[in-house]
């Protein structure tokens, strides 16, 4: 009995994952507004009624896509409780904290940057999407500000840089927009972007002997 339920649960999770992956690909390729739920169902290999049953409507599907894309999985664990972020805050030096922050951000942006751009474009023409995120606080800035505060308090940080300024610098350099400009528009390999971001932020935030 329990084994049967386990298999059913696994099948439902797999169906959910396939729908989210199909939605992500189509929303980025075609745009949110131009993509029909039937197209998502076809790509996912399910009936369109299944999409409605699992997600109710297109805005709900978009929100789930964004949440899963940011996290990298469908586990309800906030970014600041994930291992890569813990590595940033527990790093012994500002240099190792910055390396962990840039590496973790790269992995996130490889998943999220194109989806973020699509959501911004969709929000401009679909007012109902704005209602999906009623909290006006930028969650990315909250994560960055927490990381920047931790980094500036560690040995090897440039003490002359105020925490707020450090957060703004990191927020700009590690932005999804700049990531896309360099890795998509200018065809930089993500590893090159990571090294550039580390070097650029290091010149601003690390003491000279920390580089």
Q: How far is the C-alpha of 151 from the C-alpha of 153, rounded, in Å?
A: 5
Q: Stretch 36-62: mean pLDDT, rounded?
A: 95
Query: Band of the pLDDT at 66, cuts 50, 70, 90?
Result: confident
The pLDDT score that the predictor gives to residue 77 is 65
Matching residue, tokens 């169906």: 15
Q: Are 43 and 78 in contact (CB under 8 A)?
A: no
Query: Band of the pLDDT at 139, cuts 50, 70, 90?
Result: confident
- Both ends of the chain: CA-CA distance in Å? 59
Nearest to 171 by CA among 151, 152, 147, 188: 147
Q: How far is the C-alpha of 63 from the C-alpha of 111, rounded, in Å?
A: 15
Q: Are 97 and 151 in contact (CB under 8 A)?
A: yes
H/E element holding 94?
A: helix 94-125
């Amino acid at each position: 009995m329990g084994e049967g339920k386990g298999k059913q649960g696994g099948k439902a999770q797999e169906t959910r994952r396939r729908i989210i992956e199909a939605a992500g690909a189509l929303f980025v390729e075609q745009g949110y507004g131009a993509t029909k739920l039937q197209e998502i169902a076809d790509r996912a290999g399910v009936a369109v009624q299944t999409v409605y049953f699992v997600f109710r409507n297109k805005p709900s599907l978009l929100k789930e896509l964004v949440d899963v894309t940011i996290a990298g999985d469908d586990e309800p664990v906030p970014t600041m409780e994930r291992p890569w972020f813990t590595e940033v805050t527990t790093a012994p030096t500002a240099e190792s904290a910055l390396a962990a922050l840039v590496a973790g951000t790269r992995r996130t942006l490889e998943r999220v940057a194109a989806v973020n751009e699509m959501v911004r474009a969709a929000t401009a023409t679909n007012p109902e999407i704005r209602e999906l995120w009623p909290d006006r606080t930028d969650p990315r800035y909250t994560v960055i500000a927490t990381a920047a505060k931790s980094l500036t308090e560690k040995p090897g940080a440039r003490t002359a840089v105020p925490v707020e300024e450090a957060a703004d610098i990191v927020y700009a350099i590690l932005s999804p927009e700049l990531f896309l400009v360099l890795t998509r528009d200018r065809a930089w390999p993500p590893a090159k972007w990571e090294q550039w971001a580390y070097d650029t932020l290091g010149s601003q935030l690390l003491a000279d002997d920390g580089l």
